[in-house]
Amino acid sequence: MALKRSGTKYDIFTKIALVLVVAIVFFLIILPLLNILIYSTQPTGSAIITNAFSDVVIRQILWNTMKLGLTVAFLGTLLGFIMAYTQARVEFRGKKVLHIVNLVPIISPPFAFATAVIVLFGRSGIITRGIFDWRPTLYGYTGLVLVLTLSFFPIAYMNLLGMLRSLDPALDEAGSSLGASKWRIFRTVTLPLLIPGFAGSFLLLFIESIADLANPLIIGGNYTVLASRAYMAINGDYDIPMAAGYSFLLLLPALLVFLVQRYWAQRKSVVSVTGKPSGRPTVVTSRLARFFLLSVTFLLTSLIVLVYATVVLGAFVKIIGVENSFTLEHFRYLLGGFANAAVRATTFLALMATPLAGIFGMLIAWLVIRKVRRGSEALDFLGMLGIAVPGTVIGIGYAITYNDPVKIGGVTVFPQVAGGAAIFGGAIAIVMVYIIRSSPAGQRSGISLLQQIDPSIEEASASLGASGGRTFRLVTLPLISGALLSGLMYAFAHSMTTLSPIIFLVTPDISILTQKILAEADQGRYGNVFALCCMLIVLIMVIGGLINLLVRRFQVSTDRPLVTGR
């Protein structure tokens, strides 16, 4: 019997929720994208698109973007797999600590990596020059690959770790009972079963790396990619149609790859669901394999620790590597007026967006899995657009759309929310961006959790007389509150650290921490950058912890089995 019930009429709650969701998605993402398309047809915009392959400069930018995306996707997936395999199949001390260290890059500000890597491995790097007397050029392709791989490999790590853990250990046992060696089982059973996971991770990393704007701006040097070129079109050429043109070139492969990735992700669910795992996964015992896996793991983990040590130390010394005397002057400068307003605004706006993004994501998940019959795929896709579309494109789309009131036939259907002249100094546009960028995470975890909850639990509620809204509140929401929590945490951390869409929306009245960090990095004031990163990380940890406590108070424990029968 299919998990989703077909045939019930939509109740009033479902209808309202559907209309609401579609309206929100329209204004938060569809309309800005439509405007990108419209603007890119203007002369300077369409020139970019039509000459994409004939113009040497544009072709080079396109190639740079693809090359970067492919390299990072390959290296990140490989590293993610090695780390995940070590975590799942090798026994050693300090596993849990390692797991946390591997996840840290996901929620940290991207500049932390780029600046720390420059300080450590750049032309006058503490390690490269200080220890090896070697002066490599980091700005450009090499630096970008290094920084982006470090930043994004955790995505592949989590993805593949989940798959490795869901593989039925009986498969390995069956293989060895048929006489296959461990290496042979690894080659012929484990790897083939993980292919969808590899593909999925590769595509996700590709999207993330071609969409990234912060790192190309800081460490890209002359290596121009589509995202940084579109940014320059706005902030250097002051040519909006041109920016729309580059945005279009970036949007196309991003959306295409996103669609392919969804296809792979759906195949994954077919492969990995093998029923209840029984027995214990086999452990790697070969000394050679252990040595290799643990060395890579150790090196990568040390690198991450080193980067964060640099960030923290760098915040408390004058100029790290040059003048290593303790000082609080960076913090004194930042909190003496430079960053106060940004800290307040960023935290406040992120806090505004967090619950909205969490609930919005959950609502879509619930509609997709439980309620909508025809077009649930499309709804799911609409909800994910916020993460599929590169932040740069969203930012430019918002700037085009919301710097004036949205009018249809002369009637204002949506007020001006972006730009200094807008209400609240353009803060609403920033909150909107936070919501649409963060809700997909809640949506994904909500969907995977709802798929595990027996639909008859909700039907039982209905048959006992509870209406659709009541069932959602009393039964569904408590059951998915675990996913809601992780969605909220992610939403908050992501909002606090996001840069690419925000950079187009900051105004004299509303400045945002990540944009302050970029400004300081541009000026080469790395001490301030590190101090800002530290403040950001502390803010995320403290407020994230508070959100955690708050939600847990209202949450029922979800460690009980949610799946009964069937």
Partner 1 sequence: MAKTTGKLELRALTKEFGNGSEKVVAVKELSLTINPGEFVTLLGPSGCGKTTALRMVAGFETPTSGQVLLDGEDLSALTPDRRPMGMVFQSYALFPHMTVFDNIAYGLKVKKVSTAQIKKEVGEILDSMNLAHLTNRAPNQLSGGQQQRVALARAMVVRPKVLLFDEPLSNLDAKLRAQMRIEIRSIQRRLGITSIFVTHDQDEAMSLSDRIVVMRNAVVEQSGTPEEIYRRPSSVFVADFIGRSNFLSVAEVKKGASRKVTVEASGVKLKVNAHPKALKSAHPHLLVRPESVSVKKSSSSSKSRKANEGVVKNVVFYGNHVEYSIDTPTQTIAAVVSDPVYDEIVPVGAVAKIDFDESRAWLLPSDSAVITSEE
Contact residues for partner 1 (CB under 8 A)? Answer: 1, 5-9, 11, 454, 456-457, 459-468, 470-471, 474-475, 478-479, 556-558, 560-562, 564-566
Q: Is the dihedral of CA 401, 403, 409, 415 positive or negative?
A: positive
Nearer to partner 1 among residue 9 and residue 553 (C-beta): 9
Query: What is the nearest approach in angstroms of partner 1 to the Cβ of residue 277?
Result: 19
Min dist. Cβ of residue 564 to partner 1 (A):
5
Nearest approach, Cβ of residue 557 and partner 1 (Å):
8
What CA–CA distance (Å, rounded) separates 442 from 484?
6
Residue 176 has which token pair?
């060895």
Kindly give, in sequence order, each residue whose CB lies less than 8 Å from that of residue 386, ignoring residues fewer than 6 positions away: 28, 29, 394, 435, 436, 437, 438, 439, 440
Smallest distance, partner 1 to C-beta of residue 19, A: 18
- CA-CA distance, 49 to 142, in Å (whole number)? 28
Q: Which is nearer to partner 1, 416 or 461 (CB)?
A: 461
| Closer to partner 1 by Cβ: residue 283 or 474 | 474
Nearer to partner 1, 341 or 457 (CB): 457
Between 296 and 466, name the residue whose CB sits nearer to partner 1.
466
- Maximum CA extent, the chain: 76
Shortest distance, position 10 Cβ to partner 1, whole Å:
9
Q: Which lies closer to partner 1 via its Cβ, residue 3 or residue 259?
A: 3
State the nearest-atom distance from the C-beta of 231 to partner 1, in Å: 47
Using DSSP, state whether 239 is helix, strand or coil: coil
Cα separation, 171 vs 190, in Å, equals: 9
d(CA 487, CA 479): 14
For partner 1, give the closer residue by CB, 15 or 135: 15
Of 565, 230, 261, whose CA–CA distance to 395 is shortest?
A: 230
- Residues 480 and 474: their CA atoms lie apart, in Å, by 11
Least distance between partner 1 and beta carbon 21 (Å)? 21
Nearest to 207 by CA among 103, 109, 69, 108: 69
Which residues, in sequence order, are CB contacts of 52 under 8 Å at separation 6+?
58, 59, 62, 249
Distance separating alpha carbons of residues 37 and 241, to the nearest angstrom? 9
Q: Please, what is the minimum distance in Å from the beta carbon of residue 376 to partner 1?
A: 16
CB distance 480 to 362 below 8 Å: yes
* Closest CB to partner 1 among residues 2, 411: 2
CA dist 144 → 292, 339, 519 (Å): 26, 28, 19
Minimum distance from residue 6 beta carbon to partner 1 (Å): 7
User: Which residues lie closer than 8 Å to 407 by C-beta, 6 or more apart?
Assistant: 413
Please give the angle made by the CA atoms of 377, 380 and 385, to the nearest 5 degrees.
125
Q: Are 554 and 481 in contact (CB under 8 A)?
A: yes
Q: What is the smallest separation between the CB atom of 375 and partner 1, expressed in angstroms?
A: 15
The closest alpha carbon to 340, from 464, 516, 210, 181, belongs to: 516
| Nearer CB in complex with partner 1: 174/460 | 460
Q: Which residue, 325 or 557, is less far from partner 1 as judged by CB?
A: 557
